[in-house]
């Protein structure tokens, strides 16, 4: 018995539309630079969909008082 091509096509369309809904809003990758007290140069922080204030909080949570500054890389 051969599979019904119309049913297969309908199934593929449904799967594609569900996937498309999930990926319609891609998060913009943002790049920030940050400096630590024990590092002479600026370091790079890549993140998806995170604004500067949230990136700064995340880095502060990770590095604590060692974090000197965070800025958006342009």
CA-derived radius of gyration, the chain: 22
Mean pLDDT for the chain overall:
85
> Residues of 29-63 as b/e, b for ≥16 C-beta within 10 angstroms?
ebebebbbeeeeebeebebeebeeeebbeebeeeb
Q: What is the rounded average pLDDT of the residues 51-67? A: 95
State pTM to two decimals: 0.62
| Residue showing tokens 């996937």 | 19
Q: What is the DSSP letter of 66?
A: G
Of residues 60 and 4, the one with the higher pLDDT is 60
DSSP H or E run through 35: strand 29-36
Note the pLDDT tens digit of each residue in 29-57: 899 999 999 999 999 999 988 899 999 99
């Amino acid at each position: 018995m051969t599979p019904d091509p119309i049913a297969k096509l309908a199934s593929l369309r449904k799967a594609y539309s569900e996937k498309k809904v999930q990926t319609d809003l891609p998060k913009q990758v943002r790049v920030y630079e940050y400096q630590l007290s024990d590092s002479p140069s600026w370091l790079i922080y890549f993140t998806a969909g995170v604004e500067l204030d949230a990136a700064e909080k995340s880095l502060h949570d990770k590095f604590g008082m060692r974090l000197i500054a965070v800025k958006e890389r342009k």
